[in-house]
């Protein structure tokens, strides 16, 4: 079956622009995660959804970052007024179970954001 998909795969933004990154999880997966992966680093947790409920957003680095999953399937990560330090790969992952942090996650290919 289809895995987790993310779009766009690559995004170049000028500093100050707003961007929206999309994640299509595996159908029926309850849990959805967003991570930020800087070059040479491991993924850093941003936020976690269980269906449409955002249960943990403690990893969002500033109020410029906003995520939603209004119908409990597709999710969008929005970054307002992008800064150069936002340049990274943004990973989305989903898990079939409610207890997302306890279980294996299925990762998408990521969106590479470059802010000029």
Partner 1 sequence: AQSVAQPEDQVNVAEGNPLTVKCTYSVSGNPYLFWYVQYPNRGLQFLLKYITGDNLVKGSYGFEAEFNKSQTSFHLKKPSALVSDSALYFCAGSGGYQKVTFGTGTKLQVIP
Residues that bind partner 1 (CB under 8 A): 3-4, 33, 35, 40-45, 48, 56, 58-59, 91, 93, 99, 101-110
Nearer to partner 1, 9 or 15 (CB): 9
CB of 10 to partner 1, least distance (A): 12
**CA 80 distance to own-chain centroid:** 14
**Neighbouring residues of 89: CB distance < 8 A, sequence distance ≥ 6:** 36, 37, 38, 110, 111, 112, 113
- Smallest gap from Cβ 76 to partner 1, in A, equals 19
In the bound state with partner 1, the residue whose beta carbon lies nearer, of 36 and 82, is: 36
Nearest CA to 80 out of 53, 93, 61 is that of 61
Q: How far is the CB of 61 from partner 1 (least distance, A)?
A: 14
Q: Is-contact 8 20, C-beta < 8 A? A: no
């Amino acid at each position: 079956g289809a895995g987790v998909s993310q779009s766009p795969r690559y995004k170049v933004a000028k500093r100050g622009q707003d961007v929206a990154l999309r994640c299509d999880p595996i159908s029926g997966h309850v849990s959805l995660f967003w991570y930020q992966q800087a070059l040479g680093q491991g993924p850093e947790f941003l936020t976690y959804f269980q269906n449409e409920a955002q249960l943990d957003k403690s990893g969002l680095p500033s109020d410029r970052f906003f995520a939603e999953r209004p119908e409990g399937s597709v999710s969008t990560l929005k970054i307002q007024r992008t800064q150069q330090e936002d340049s990274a790969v943004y990973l989305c992952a989903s898990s079939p179970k409610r207890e997302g942090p306890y279980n294996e996650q299925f990762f998408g290919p990521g969106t590479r954001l470059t802010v000029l």
